[in-house]
A and B are shown apart, each in its own frame.
Chain A
Amino acid sequence: MSKPILVVGGGPSGLAAAHALSSVGQRVVLIEKAERLGGAPILSGYAKLVPSGEWAKDAIGGMVHRVQEDRQVEVHLSSTVKSFSGAPGEFNVELADGKRLQAAAAILCTGFTHFDSLNKPEWGFGTFPDVVTTAQVEQMISSGKGVRCPSDGRKPQRVAILLCVGSRDRQIGREWCSKICCTVSANIAMEIREELPECHVYVYYMDIRTFGLYETKYYWRSQEEFKVKYIKARIAEVTSDGEKLIVKGEDTLVKRPITIPFDMVVHAIGMDPNIENKTIAAVFGVALESHGYLARGNAYANTAETSRPGVFVAGAATGPETIDDSIAQGHAAAARALALTRPAQASA
């Protein structure tokens, strides 16, 4: 029997890779650092996913269940890889608890880390309780409690969503666009308007990047059906008058300074490289690209490859990525890993 393939990370791309491999009879060892599978959508309590509109606990939960029930997938929770050596076809793996195993190949599905808004103190997160992140709003919605101001539980009458928090900002060394926050924010804005029709939602943006088909489904729809308002301004600071949050900035389209009261301010937080990427790069002997994500090989000839032969990568480990594309990349990496373990057979 051939050696198993190591999948590191149990989020959307890791779950997809593990399932894809198992479905063609390949044994898999899945290592997950957290106490449960599912990755960011489950661990951070996302509500309805973009663009399917399905609840994360159903959609990703279904993927988790499928892998948990799969006898060809050996899942290690609360576990990390301590050392990784050898060559394609015969890698030696040691886990943090001292357990050793061999693997034919490895797929890194180590994902990303949500930007920590404390790194932008001028926007009030950590100072004012009613300044929250998109992840927190997702939790308010997915928990069924609804969108409420954390300070006193009241329904907000006016919400500001600030885009590009932890993205496109050289001041804090994050020069990438996190790709999905515009669409997620438009989705959240519509969720708020649906739950609280009296609540006005304003999105403060530099550019709106609801790419591809998300344009009409999220951006246009949020404006046309849900009357969400978009204001082109990068907010200077979020303060408080003791009662309301005060958002200050310049409305660039009319060249006017603005000082507007809000009940709740939402940071559309970006996707940082996984905070452990340096450790991951060292353990697996793979290179990082300039932003700190795992470096990817040539997309045309070397799909899903890292700088080390036999070690593949998928999902947001390589840069901000959508859930759908992470899943697709998990499948692509599975195909590459499989090809490595089962060289093409000579035709009869």
Chain B
Amino acid sequence: MPIHEKSLIRPENLKTHEQLVVDGVDVSGHWSTFIQSRVVTDYNEALQEEIAALPGGEYIHRCWQCGSCTNACTVNAVNPDFNPRYWIYLVRVGMESELLRDKDIIWQCVSCNKCTYACPRDVAPEGVMKALSHWLELKGHTRKSPSMIFDEVFTDQVIERGRIEEGRIIQQFFRRTGQALGQDWLIEMGRRLLRRLPLGLLMRLGLAGVHAPRTRGWARSRAALREYVAQEQSRQRRALGLEDLIEGARRDAAGITHG
């Protein structure tokens, strides 16, 4: 399968004038293929280090662009725009704006790991794809999707209580995504449950909603998990240069002037 390359002539780069009158002559429309500047004028040298600082991205600097990952890729077979080799290259040389053009498809990796086994340099491209998605998220390039919020609600509850309670997860998920709890399917499920009257289950669900059970002796595990997550998040933010931004915002908010 040939490796997909992007054409330089992109619709948004074509110079078009809806309405252009020059010296009284109407010359509106397309004029051949005049295109906007397309020259790369500098590299962002921080980019590779940022990706390498995130879990999975550690070996990105090994890549020598053979294309084994893209050739092996499950998603590429369906969508030729999905090209791990190309993104790894953009990161390696620091073409950030080019990378961001693909922010809506980068996260589509299905983690089949065929690339991991094909890669002759052990770049672990699947890990790089994870790091890329993570980077897009941390840098605020991707909108927080309901599925990401679901993952957060789920993880928060595991860390907080050492177990999950479906009822609470659904409640919080709907609240945090601004969706009504009174979903048709949920009402229907409740109605059917009532009809069959599985009393034990209903009581457990109800109790769980009020009582919020925990795993016994979880406090120490929770503290350790929280500490690790906080450390890791802080390290990643620092690697991406986000910690300074947050610090700056905090100091500005506190009215401390710089210098």
* Interface band, chain B: 20 to 34
Interchain residue pairs with CB less than 8 A apart (16): A200-B45, A223-B62, A223-B64, A224-B61, A227-B48, A251-B40, A253-B86, A253-B89, A255-B8, A256-B95, A257-B40, A258-B41, A259-B41, A260-B40, A260-B43, A261-B42
Question: Quick one: closest A residue to B40, CB to CB?
Answer: A258
Whether B40 lies near A231 (C-beta < 8 A) is no
Report the tally of A-B residue pairs with Cβ distances under 8 A.
Answer: 54
Q: Which residues of A contact B (CB under 8 A)?
A: 200, 202, 208, 220, 223-224, 227, 229-232, 251, 253-261
A15 to B125, CA, bound (A): 50
A230 to B61, CA, bound (A): 10
Q: Does B38 contact A (CB under 8 A)?
A: yes
Question: Quick one: closest A residue to B48, CB to CB?
Answer: A227
**In the assembled complex, which residues on chain A have CB atoms less than 8 Å from the CB atom of B42?**
260-261
Chain A proximity of B146: nearest CB distance (Å): 34
**In the assembled complex, which residues on chain B have CB atoms less than 8 Å from the CB atom of A232?**
65
18 further contact pairs, Cβ within 8 A, besides A255-B6, A255-B8, A257-B40? A220-B62, A227-B48, A227-B61, A230-B64, A232-B65, A251-B40, A254-B6, A256-B38, A256-B39, A256-B40, A256-B95, A257-B38, A258-B40, A258-B41, A259-B40, A259-B41, A260-B40, A260-B41
Q: Does B23 contact A (CB under 8 A)?
A: no
**In the assembled complex, which residues on chain B have CB atoms less than 8 Å from the CB atom of A220?**
62, 121
Whether A254 lies near B98 (C-beta < 8 A) is yes
Whether B5 lies near A229 (C-beta < 8 A) is no
Whether A254 lies near B39 (C-beta < 8 A) is no
A253 to B98, CA, bound (A): 13
A256 to B9, CA, bound (A): 11
Question: Restricting to B196-242, which residues have a CB under 8 Å from any CB of A?
Answer: none
**In the assembled complex, which residues on chain A have CB atoms less than 8 Å from the CB atom of B62?**
220, 223-224
Question: Quick one: closest A residue to B49, CB to CB?
Answer: A227
A220 to B121, CA, bound (A): 9
Question: Restricting to B20-52, which residues have a CB under 8 Å from any CB of A?
Answer: 38-43, 45, 48
**In the assembled complex, which residues on chain B have CB atoms less than 8 Å from the CB atom of A223?**
61-62, 64
A232 to B95, CA, bound (A): 15
**In the assembled complex, which residues on chain A have CB atoms less than 8 Å from the CB atom of B8?**
255-256
Q: Does B119 contact A (CB under 8 A)?
A: no
**In the assembled complex, which residues on chain A have CB atoms less than 8 Å from the CB atom of B65?**
232, 253
A318 to B65, CA, bound (A): 35
**Contact bitstring B63-91, A, C-beta under 8 A = 1, else 0:** 01100000000000000000000100110
Whether A254 lies near B61 (C-beta < 8 A) is no
Chain A proximity of B102: nearest CB distance (Å): 12
Whether B45 lies near A231 (C-beta < 8 A) is no
Given A200-B45, A254-B89, A259 contacting B64 (CB threshold 8 A)? no
A7 to B65, CA, bound (A): 47
Chain A proximity of B217: nearest CB distance (Å): 45
**Contact bitstring B151-193, A, C-beta under 8 A = 1, else 0:** 0000000000000000000000000000000000000000000
Chain B proximity of A98: nearest CB distance (Å): 58
Chain B proximity of A147: nearest CB distance (Å): 18
A253 to B64, CA, bound (A): 11
Chain A proximity of B95: nearest CB distance (Å): 7
**In the assembled complex, which residues on chain B have CB atoms less than 8 Å from the CB atom of A224?**
61-62
Question: Quick one: closest B residue to A208, CB to CB?
Answer: B64
Question: Quick one: closest A residue to B90, CB to CB?
Answer: A254
**In the assembled complex, which residues on chain B have CB atoms less than 8 Å from the CB atom of A200?**
43, 45
A260 to B45, CA, bound (A): 12
Rank and list the top 10 A-B pairs by shortest CB-CB distance, nearest first. Answer: A257-B39, A258-B40, A259-B39, A256-B40, A259-B41, A200-B45, A227-B61, A224-B62, A255-B5, A253-B89
A259 to B93, CA, bound (A): 13
Chain B proximity of A163: nearest CB distance (Å): 14
A258 to B89, CA, bound (A): 14
**In the assembled complex, which residues on chain B have CB atoms less than 8 Å from the CB atom of A230?**
64
Question: Quick one: closest B residue to A226, CB to CB?
Answer: B61
Chain B proximity of A142: nearest CB distance (Å): 28
Q: Does B130 contact A (CB under 8 A)?
A: no
A253 to B89, CA, bound (A): 8
**In the assembled complex, which residues on chain B have CB atoms less than 8 Å from the CB atom of A258?**
39-41
A220 to B62, CA, bound (A): 7
**In the assembled complex, which residues on chain B have CB atoms less than 8 Å from the CB atom of A251?**
40, 93
Question: Restricting to B90-129, which residues have a CB under 8 Å from any CB of A?
Answer: 90, 92-93, 95, 98, 121
A248 to B62, CA, bound (A): 25
A227 to B170, CA, bound (A): 47
A284 to B31, CA, bound (A): 68
A259 to B42, CA, bound (A): 7
A317 to B90, CA, bound (A): 43
Interface centre among A230, A253, A258 (most CB of B within 10 A): A253
**In the assembled complex, which residues on chain B have CB atoms less than 8 Å from the CB atom of A255?**
5-6, 8
